[in-house]
Amino acid sequence: MIDRAEASKYLVSKLTDEVVVTSLGNEKYDLRAAGEYVRTFYNWNSMGIASSIGLGLAMARPDLKVIVYDGDGSLLMNLGSLATIALREPKNLIHIVWDNRSYAMTGGQPTATAYHTDLAAIAKGAGYPKVERVETIAEFRNTADRALVEPGPWFIHCLMEEKPVAGGGLPSPTAIKHRFMDAIGAHH
């Protein structure tokens, strides 16, 4: 089982000019704690929509490499996005899903992945060309390294162990929007 905080530090250390779209769950705090990366669009409360925002961004801006930082509970709300992503086949999209088998932020209620649901199998069935399931930090590093250079769309299903996260440290939603748009040269 992967320590998401450790994996997030590795990912942030590898970023150069990629952009990151997070979901609303605890993954966004681990990413923020790993270091300030202004080319990050952190979602506040918009559950399930990170994959769709990432797809839109990847299609509108093929010059950018887009990393979606998702949670199992969030993705389960928007499984249809997997089929749409596979259909549009954005080569510049890396979809990382942190599967802690729970809705950690709201108290750890189990999600469907705690029972029978396999998100990597769903992504494969949806038609993602590159699907990996990773369970150790070494596998995460290897797969992230490949995804940063090989065309996607990638789906990286990360099996993780939930640990307490250091919350806070995020700008307001408006500030996030403005600084992200500035960072990618979009007009307000």
Ligand X SMILES: Cc1ncc(C[n+]2csc(CCOP(=O)(O)OP(=O)(O)O)c2C)c(N)n1
> Which of residues 8, 43, 51, 102 is near ligand X by CB under 6 A?
102
> Which of residues 8, 22, 43, 100 is near ligand X by CB under 6 A?
100
> Which of residues 8, 22, 26, 43 is near ligand X by CB under 6 A?
26
Q: Name the minimum Å distance from CB 27 to ligand X.
A: 6
88 close to 59: Cβ distance less than 8 angstroms: yes
Q: How far apart are CA 143 and CA 58, in angstroms?
A: 20
Question: Which pair of tokens denotes residue 155?
Answer: 């789906």
Q: How far apart are CA 173 and CA 171, in angstroms?
A: 7
Q: Name the minimum Å distance from CB 151 to ligand X.
A: 27
Q: Is residue 24 near ligand X by the rule CB under 6 A?
A: yes
Which of residues 114 and 181 has its CB atom nearest to ligand X in the complex? 114
Q: Name the minimum Å distance from CB 30 to ligand X.
A: 9
> Which of residues 13, 45, 172, 174 is near ligand X by CB under 6 A?
45
156 close to 20: Cβ distance less than 8 angstroms: no
Residues 118-177 binding ligand X (CB under 6 A) are none
Contacts of 92 (CB under 8 A, 6+ apart): 58, 62, 64, 65, 66, 151, 152
Q: Name the minimum Å distance from CB 133 to ligand X.
A: 17
Q: Of the candidates 110, 169, 163, which has an alpha carbon nearest to the alpha carbon of residue 4?
A: 163
Q: Is residue 115 near ligand X by the rule CB under 6 A?
A: no
Q: Is residue 54 near ligand X by the rule CB under 6 A?
A: no
**Alpha helices by DSSP H, 89-184:** 119-126, 137-149, 173-183
Residue 25: how many other CB atoms lie within 10 Å: 25
Q: Is residue 47 near ligand X by the rule CB under 6 A?
A: yes
What are the residues binding ligand X (CB under 6 A)? 23-27, 45, 47, 71-74, 100, 102-106
